[in-house]
Every structure is written in C-alpha cells, then in structure tokens.
C-alpha cells in the first residue's frame, strides 16, 4: 500500500481544522482506559527517579544518546519505511531496523505503521485517530491509551504483515525495550536505568507525540494540503526532521522531510550515509518540479513555534533555489 505522493493542484486551502462531532468524541469506545494506562504513567514516575539517584554527566550523555538513536530508528523505520515505503532495504536489515525502533516502547512495528497509514487517509477528519480538533490531550496521548486502538490493523499493513519475524516482533513488542532497560542497569546501575533508560523513554514518547498534537496547530504552511499540517524548525530538531510536517503531508512517500538545505533532517542524513555503504537503497526524494507546485502565499497561516527561517533568510534561500531551478531548466 503506497500513499499519495503529493496533493494535486487546484485544491483550495483554508488552514482550518474540520469540525468533529461531539457524538463521535463522547462515544463510549473513544475514551481513555485509566486502569490499562497505569503502566504508562508508572514509567513517568520511574523517570522522576533519575533525580533521586542523581544525574552525572555520563548519565546525561546516555540519556541523550538513547533519545536520539532511538528517535532515528523510530522515524527512519516505523515512519518513513514501514508506513510510507520511502526507501528499500534487505530482509535482515529490515528486521534489525524494526528491532531498534521497537526499543522505543511505542508498541509494535505493524501496529504503528498501520495506524499511521490510517491517519494519513483521514488526516484531521472525524475518523483520524489523533485529530488535533479533539484537543491537545487526545491528539498527544489520549488516543494511545484508548483500548479501541489496541489491536493491529493488519488489513492496512498487508505488505509487511507477510513477514513472520515482523509479526513476532509486533506481538512481543515489550521485550526489546525491557531488554534495553536491563542492559542499562547491568552496565551502569540504578543511575543508568532511571536516568538513562526511563527518562530518555519518556522524553522520546513526548517528543514523538508532539508531531500529532502540535504540528497540525503551530508552525508554517508552505504547501496546499487537505489537512492543517505545518512546518516547525523546533519540532524538527526535537524529532530528527519530523517537524517539517507540512512538507511530509504534501509529499508523503519521500525519504527526506526537510526539502531545502536549511531544513535540518537528521534522519535523512543518516539514511543517506547508510545508502553510501549499501545498507539501504532507492531513497525517494521529490523533484524540483514537485517542490515548486501547490505553494501557499508567503506568510499565510504562520502560527508560532518558529515555522522556518527568518523572513530575510527565507527570501535569500528562495532566490537561490529559484536561480538553480532556472539554470537547470536552461
């Protein structure tokens, strides 16, 4: 299943969230299961234990390292590969990358990718599992704690559900993060467990969740899309490039989400390096012609969180890009 690459021309952009009915929001199966959510909140309490045991510089380094390494695995694998098939890799590498992403404790690889494909199909609509129209809490984390969305939608991920090793990893998705936590304890004791593993895991959760809760509300819209996706430089730095969300919703199956040189996209940089040594291949990127279509007038729908570069820098960069496109056309 491949999602649409970009929005066709002619769509009128409003930048406003569609209405979600109160009946849908208040449905009995659309609520948080507080009992089953106890483990989720317990991990948050354990993360606070990092301040009880103390944070050394080595613990801080471990925390940041686990955060960004796992953020890369999540964004490169769960999102850009399994959800959007934006590049290719062999079966062994596919499993190893999925294994690394599963250590993020964000449920199974097939579960994640299937729900994300559903999100793109109904982005910001009533059926969207984490529509920002339903409020910050629901789009940020509430939907994950709702038992209605516990099951994996195998019908939406048939292309990868055919691999038994991925189905096994999806079923036992709690094993990899548990093993990582044990490894941290064995290598560095309580400080490494609480400050390295638990704290980085909680930060990783909320870093990822901001894309659902904030990137459809704050930032800058460059392209016309049928949703309210926005670009944010701050969120891009936090999430290894996922903050260029309007770019992504405009051209979903591309390996890079930062379309221009000033849009930092750490995940794509690593994937590009991996392609040089043959670990991955066929990274999909948008053409210059695609990048130039369906633009929104500069300054339209600009809402906080540092959408892109300051105006003068954006203007200079735009002239540079326009000049290079004109040169290539000649």
Q: Are residues 49 and 175 in the same domain?
A: yes
- What confidence tier does 27 reach under pLDDT thresholds 50, 70, 90? low
Q: State pLDDT tens for residues 284-326.
A: 999 988 888 888 865 455 554 444 444 444 454 344 434 433 4
Domain count, the chain: 2
Q: Are residues 58 and 146 in the same domain?
A: yes
Query: Could you say which of 213, 242, 264 is where a domain stops?
Result: 213
Q: Does residue 5 belong to any structural domain of this protein?
A: no
Q: Are residues 227 and 209 in the same domain?
A: no
Mean pLDDT of 203-229: 92
Would you state the pLDDT for residue 123? 85
Q: Are residues 208 and 257 in the same domain?
A: no
Q: Across all residues in the chain, what is the average pLDDT?
A: 85
Q: How many CA atoms lie within 13 A of 77 on its CB side?
A: 27
Query: Could you say which of 156, 189, 213 is where a domain stops?
Result: 213
- Cβ contact 252:246 at 8 Å: no
Q: State pLDDT tens for residues 169-202.
A: 999 999 999 999 999 999 999 999 999 999 999 9
Host domain of residue 315: 223-330
Would you state the pLDDT for residue 29? 63
Which one has a higher pLDDT value, 329 or 197? 197
Would you state the pLDDT for residue 243? 96
Would you state the pLDDT for residue 129? 87
Q: Are residues 114 and 156 in the same domain?
A: yes
Q: Does residue 12 belong to any structural domain of this protein?
A: no
Which neighbouring-strand residues pair with 223? 295
- What confidence tier does 241 reach under pLDDT thresholds 50, 70, 90? very high
DSSP 8-state class, residue 231: B
Q: Does residue 10 belong to any structural domain of this protein?
A: no
Q: State pLDDT tens for residues 259-270.
A: 999 999 999 999
Q: Are residues 140 and 204 in the same domain?
A: yes
Q: Does residue 8 belong to any structural domain of this protein?
A: no
Taking CA atoms, 286 is separated from 96, 123, 319, 321, in Å, by 27, 21, 19, 14
Would you state the pLDDT for residue 135? 85
Would you state the pLDDT for residue 78? 98
Q: Are residues 170 and 58 in the same domain?
A: yes
Residue 23 has pLDDT above 50, yes or no: no
Mean pLDDT of 230-249: 96
* Measured torsion, CA atoms of residues 317, 323, 325, 330, in degrees rounded to the nearest 10: -170
Q: Are residues 175 and 267 in the same domain?
A: no
Would you state the pLDDT for residue 302? 52
Would you state the pLDDT for residue 190? 94
Q: Does residue 4 belong to any structural domain of this protein?
A: no
Residue 56 has pLDDT above 80, yes or no: yes
- What confidence tier does 283 reach under pLDDT thresholds 50, 70, 90? very high
Would you state the pLDDT for residue 107? 96
Point out the least confidently predicted range of 23-27, 75-79, 93-97, 201-205: 23-27
Q: Which of 120, 112, 114, 88 is nearest to 4 (CA)?
A: 120
- Check the CA dihedral 283-288-289-294 and report its sign: positive
- Cβ contact 94:101 at 8 Å: no
Q: Which of 314, 319, 313 is nearest to 298 (CA)?
A: 314
Provide the whole-model pTM.
Answer: 0.83
Q: Does residue 218 belong to any structural domain of this protein?
A: no
- Check the CA dihedral 225-74-164-110 and report its sign: negative
Q: Are residues 243 and 311 in the same domain?
A: yes
- What confidence tier does 142 reach under pLDDT thresholds 50, 70, 90? confident
Query: Could you say which of 172, 193, 213 is where a domain stops?
Result: 213
- Cβ contact 131:21 at 8 Å: no
Q: Does residue 128 belong to any structural domain of this protein?
A: yes
Q: Are residues 42 and 157 in the same domain?
A: yes
Which one has a higher pLDDT value, 121 or 9? 121
- Show the DSSP H helices in the chain as ranges: 22-25, 38-53, 57-73, 91-102, 109-121, 136-140, 158-161, 164-171, 175-191, 199-213, 233-238, 245-250, 266-276, 288-291, 311-329
Q: List all residues 6 or more positions away from 50 whose beta carbon is below 8 Å from its beta carbon.
A: 59, 63, 191, 194, 195, 198, 199
Q: Percentage of the chain with pLDDT > 90?
A: 61
């Amino acid at each position: 299943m491949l999602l649409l690459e970009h929005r066709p021309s002619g769509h009128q952009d409003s930048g406003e969230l569609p209405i979600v009915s109160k009946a849908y929001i208040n449905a009995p199966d659309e609520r948080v299961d507080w009992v089953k959510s106890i483990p989720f909140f317990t991990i948050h309490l354990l993360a606070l234990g990092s301040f009880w045991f103390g944070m050394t510089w080595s613990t801080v380094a471990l925390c940041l390292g686990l955060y960004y390494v796992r953020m890369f695995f999540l964004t490169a694998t769960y999102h850009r590969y399994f959800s959007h098939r934006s590049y290719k890799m062999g079966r062994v590498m596919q499993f190893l990358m999925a294994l690394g992403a599963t250590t993020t404790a964000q449920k199974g690889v097939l579960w994640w990718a299937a729900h994300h494909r559903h999100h793109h199909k109904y982005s910001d609509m009533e059926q969207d599992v984490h529509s920002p129209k339903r409020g910050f809490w629901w789009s940020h984390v509430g939907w994950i704690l709702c038992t209605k969305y516990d099951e994996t939608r195998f019908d939406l991920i048939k292309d990868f559900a055919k691999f038994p090793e991925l189905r096994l990893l999806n079923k036992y998705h709690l094993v990899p993060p548990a093993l990582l936590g044990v490894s941290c304890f064995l290598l560095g004791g309580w400080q490494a467990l609480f400050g390295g593993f638990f704290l980085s895991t909680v930060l990783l959760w909320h870093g990822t969740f901001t894309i659902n809760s904030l990137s459809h509300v704050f930032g800058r819209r460059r392209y016309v899309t049928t949703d309210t996706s926005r670009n944010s430089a701050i969120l891009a730095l936090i999430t290894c490039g996922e903050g260029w969300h309007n770019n992504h919703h405009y051209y979903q199956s591309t390996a890079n989400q930062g379309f221009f040189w000033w849009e930092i996209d750490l995940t794509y940089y690593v994937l590009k390096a991996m392609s040089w040594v043959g670990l991955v291949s066929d990274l999909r990127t948008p053409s210059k012609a695609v990048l130039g279509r369906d633009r929104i007038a500069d300054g339209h729908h600009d809402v906080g969180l540092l959408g892109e570069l300051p105006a003068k820098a954006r203007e200079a960069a735009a002239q540079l890009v326009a000049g290079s496109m004109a040169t290539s056309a000649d």
